């Protein structure tokens, strides 16, 4: 008779739930940036509501994982799967919080004039951060170390866009003081996006640890 079937089932269920939570966070990141570009406060409100569901997932999954550690004493690969689960969970929860921050910035900015060329670049940065999250979750599903590494490498691009946007936004504000209220919010927004990308690289590092047992700092 095969051993540990119940544990395997519980572990698979936890991983499935992490992916469901991941899909929700991915949606939040996407919609937060879209709400910003479209100045859509209804969509922004949706992101904030979404975060409650993410938090619910977080609490539920955290309890399940602690339960598995307490009752099953996972070792070796199992231990790495469980630890990776907790790490990814925390990163996803944090990313959702940043999406909320972006949504709140949107709400503050509705009706304020802002520089169109900067906004296009922020959208590009948002798409990149969202892509990193998606590829991080894909690498988690597939246990694909190469994909995780390739995704982490995108963080350099995000950092580059951040530096570039930081300069562009301050310049826009200098040139046109009417942009200052929105520009100040956007400086925060690019910081949030940069942090979301950092958390995506954490997901990649966690996947590499789960598969290989090696811990690497990739951002």
Partner 1 sequence: MSIPKISIRDLNLYYRDTQALKNIDIDIASNSISALIGPSGCGKTTFLRTLNRMNDLIEGVRIDGTVELDGRNVYSPDVDVVSLRKSVGMVFQRPNPFPMSIYDNVAYGPRVHGIRKKGRLDEIVEASLRGAALWKEVRDRLFTPAMGLSGGQQQRICIARLLAVEPEVVLMDEPTSALDPVSTLKIEELIRELKHKYTIVIVTHSMQQAARVSDITAFFLDGEMVESGDTGMMFTKPVDKRTEDYITGRFG
Segment interacting with partner 1 (CB under 8 A) among 3-11, 42-50, 101-109, 141-149: 3-11
**Cα torsion through 140, 144, 148, 150, rounded to 10:** -150
- Shortest Cβ 209–partner 1 spacing (Å): 9
Contact 173, 183 (CB under 8 A): yes
Count Cα atoms within 13 angstroms, Cβ side, for 7. 17
Contact 102, 32 (CB under 8 A): yes
For residue 193, with 0-12 CB atoms within 10 Å meaning exposed, 13-18 middle and 19 or more buried, which class applies?
buried
164 touching partner 1, by CB under 8 A: no
**Token digits for 93?**
């929860």
Encode 16-47: b = buried (16+ Cβ within 10 Å), e = exposed.
Answer: ebbeebbebbbbbbbbbbbbbeebbbebbebb
77 touching partner 1, by CB under 8 A: yes
- Shortest Cβ 83–partner 1 spacing (Å): 9
74 touching partner 1, by CB under 8 A: yes
117 touching partner 1, by CB under 8 A: no
10 touching partner 1, by CB under 8 A: no
76 touching partner 1, by CB under 8 A: yes
Q: Which of 42, 70, 73, 117 binds partner 1 (CB under 8 A)?
A: 73
Q: Would you say 182 or 210 has its CB closer to partner 1?
A: 210
80 touching partner 1, by CB under 8 A: yes
Q: Would you say 79 or 218 has its CB closer to partner 1?
A: 79
Question: Which residues are at the interface with partner 1 (CB under 8 A)?
Answer: 1-4, 7, 73-80, 213
């Amino acid at each position: 008779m095969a051993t540990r079937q119940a544990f395997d089932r519980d572990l698979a269920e936890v991983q499935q739930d992490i992916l469901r939570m991941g899909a929700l966070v991915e949606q939040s990141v996407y919609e937060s940036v879209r709400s910003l570009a479209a100045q859509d406060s209804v969509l922004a409100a949706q992101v904030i509501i979404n975060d409650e569901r993410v938090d619910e997932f977080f609490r539920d999954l955290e309890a399940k994982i602690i339960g598995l550690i307490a009752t099953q004493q996972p070792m070796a690969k199992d231990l790495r799967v469980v630890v990776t689960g907790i790490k990814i969970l925390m990163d996803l929860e944090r990313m959702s919080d940043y999406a909320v921050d972006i949504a709140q910035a949107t709400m503050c900015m509705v009706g304020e004039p802002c520089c169109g060329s900067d906004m296009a670049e922020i959208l590009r940065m948002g798409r990149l951060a969202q892509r990193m999250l998606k590829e991080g979750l894909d690498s988690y599903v597939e246990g694909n170390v190469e994909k995780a590494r390739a995704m982490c490498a995108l963080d350099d691009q995000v950092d580059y866009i951040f530096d570039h946007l930081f300069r562009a936004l301050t310049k826009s504000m200098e040139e046109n003081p009417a942009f200052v209220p929105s520009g100040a919010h956007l400086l925060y927004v690019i910081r949030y996006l940069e942090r979301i990308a950092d958390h995506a690289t954490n997901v990649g590092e966690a996947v590499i640890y789960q598969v290989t047992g090696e811990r690497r700092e990739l951002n």
